[in-house]
Amino acid sequence: MPENTKNEKPKKSPQGKSARKEINPGHIADDISLQSKGDIGYLRNQDAQRVQDLKGFEPCYTDIVDYIVRCTHRIWEEKGVGLIYTHYGHNIPIWTSDGLTYGREIVVENTLKTLAAFPDVKLFADEVIWCGNETDGFHTSHRITWVAHNTGHSIYGPPTGKRVIRTGIANCLVKDNIIIEEWIARDELGLVMQLGFDRDEVIKGLVSQQTTKKGETHGKGLPERSIGQFDPDAMRAQESGESDVEYFMRKSFHEIWNMRLLNKIDDNYDKNVICHTTCNRHLYGSAEYTALVLSLLAAIPDAKLSVDHFYCMGDDVKGYKTMTRWSLNGTHKGPGIYGAPTGKPVYLMGISHNRVKNGRILEEWTYFDEIALLKQIYTPQTDA
């Protein structure tokens, strides 16, 4: 989906408070899925029959997965940038770890800037997890591998001519052909490293005109996993109507990240789990996944993670494809991959796709913007 950059300080999306608990049964997931489309050549078929009720959508879209893949292709690869005006709400809120922006005009502007820097960009659709209907609207989670050559100026520096691969996930709330809200988590640090730029110099340039007040915590307050001296809160009981797979995923996130029960990784993840994450890292096995969790918790030792939205596709027989959108806040007060401790408050929004079967996570795709995190760490603080 189109680009977005910093405009306001991060806030928690209101969707987290009213997220619907949705699951698409296996037969629907099979019929309306990316895998059912086959080769990308299907997009050339302008006379395909509609297979899902889509009130208010353009006739060219056959179902919600087709809508996401086709409009992305039309905007980016066909360079129909003006289609943003007919596919995005005029006042759309777009949430990232780098802040919140409003309005489609900035989406148009940033899409043009990115296309100028990477004019041959190809966006390969890896997965679309979805739920909803034409009356309430559709939630979609579009996992993308983005391939291009840097032949123009980007926000990170002059053209390098290098071929780059960027991964990420874009979540959308769509109704009547319009994307009315979007959440984006993508691997910006991996992009900067592939371009060959010095990470620290890039960050310094990006924050050169920014300052924060000492003690400012993005309006979220200090992270508290428990009250006072009490133990961290245990996972709540399963709610009525909540699917087993949703409860399993929420419980797994809470116990591993908030209760620090890293031994639960061996309980919840297959020993041969594969995790695809930022900086084009591909982790093999539960031991490498544990090392990833430890690296983040070491750097942000008071981190608290909240699950803001969940939905999935599948059934007990074939397994499930799940989407979990989460937010993490804490304090950069430990050594590690983000440099020496600074004591700065930090915030991350991330999106995870998981493949779950028989009570085990077999594969995971987790993306978050480490450039946005480093900007929070590097931004100078003032007393005023």
- The length of the chain is 384
Residues 202 and 261 both lie in one domain: no
**Domain end (from 178, 206, 234):** 206
CA dist 272 and 373 (Å) reads 30
Neighbours of 337 (CB within 10 A): 12
Residue 168 lies in a domain: yes
Residues 145 and 224 both lie in one domain: no
What's the domain count of the chain? 2
**pLDDT in 10s for each residue of the chain, 384 residues:** 555 544 444 444 433 333 445 677 656 767 899 998 888 888 888 778 899 999 999 999 999 999 999 999 999 999 999 999 999 999 999 999 998 999 999 999 999 999 999 999 999 999 999 999 999 999 999 999 999 999 999 999 999 999 999 999 999 999 999 999 999 999 999 999 999 999 999 999 999 866 565 555 555 566 777 777 778 888 888 988 889 999 999 999 999 999 999 999 999 999 999 999 999 999 999 999 999 999 999 999 999 999 999 999 999 999 999 999 999 999 999 999 899 999 999 999 999 999 999 999 999 999 999 999 999 999 886 665
Please give, one letter per residue, the 3-state secondary structure of 233-252: CCCCCCCCCCCHHHHHHHHH
Please give the pLDDT value at position 13. Answer: 42
Give the pair of three-digit tokens for residue 164.
């780059």
Please give the pLDDT value at position 15. Answer: 38
Please give the pLDDT value at position 228. Answer: 73
Q: Does residue 304 contact residue 217 with C-beta atoms inside 8 Å?
A: no
Residues 65 and 181 both lie in one domain: yes
Q: Which helix (H) or strand (E) holds 59?
A: none
Give me the CATH number covering residue 275.
3.10.450.50
Q: Which residue has the tokens 């077999």?
A: 362
Beta bridge partners of 355: 321, 363
Residues 252 and 333 both lie in one domain: yes
Angle, helices 370-378 vs 188-195, to 10°: value is 90
CA 123 to chain centre: 16
CA dist 60 and 63 (Å) reads 9
Residues 143 and 262 both lie in one domain: no
Residue 66 lies in a domain: yes
Give the pair of three-digit tokens for residue 230.
């009490």
**Cα dist. 97→218, 254, 378 in Å?**
11, 20, 15
Residues 230 and 201 both lie in one domain: no
Beta bridge partners of 319: 315
Residue 56 lies in a domain: yes
CA dist 146 and 351 (Å) reads 17
**Domain end (from 181, 206, 231):** 206
* Full-model pTM: 0.90
- Classify strands 137-149 and 99-102 as parallel, antiparallel or unpaired: unpaired
Give the pair of three-digit tokens for residue 70.
């086709």
Q: Which helix (H) or strand (E) holds 86?
A: helix 84-87
Give the pair of three-digit tokens for residue 235.
């996972």
Residue 334 lies in a domain: yes
Residue 3 lies in a domain: no
Residue 6 lies in a domain: no
Residues 162 and 236 both lie in one domain: no
Residue 9 lies in a domain: no
Range of the domain at 351: 216-382
Q: Which amino acid is at 288?
A: E
Residues 187 and 243 both lie in one domain: no
What letter would DSSP give residue 197? -
Nearest to 351 by CA among 148, 147, 139, 158: 139
**Domain end (from 158, 183, 206):** 206
Residue 211 lies in a domain: no
Please give the pLDDT value at position 268. Answer: 97
Residues 230 and 140 both lie in one domain: no
Please give the pLDDT value at position 123. Answer: 96
Q: Does residue 217 contact residue 187 with C-beta atoms inside 8 Å?
A: no
Q: Which amino acid is at 89?
A: G
Residues 200 and 231 both lie in one domain: no
Residues 186 and 236 both lie in one domain: no
Please tell me whether residue 270 adopts helix, strand or coil conformation: strand
- Classify strands 122-133 and 137-149 as parallel, antiparallel or unpaired: antiparallel
Residues 135 and 246 both lie in one domain: no
Q: Which amino acid is at 76?
A: W
Cα atoms in the Cβ-side hemisphere of radius 13 Å centred on 298: 12
CA dist 265 and 272 (Å) reads 12
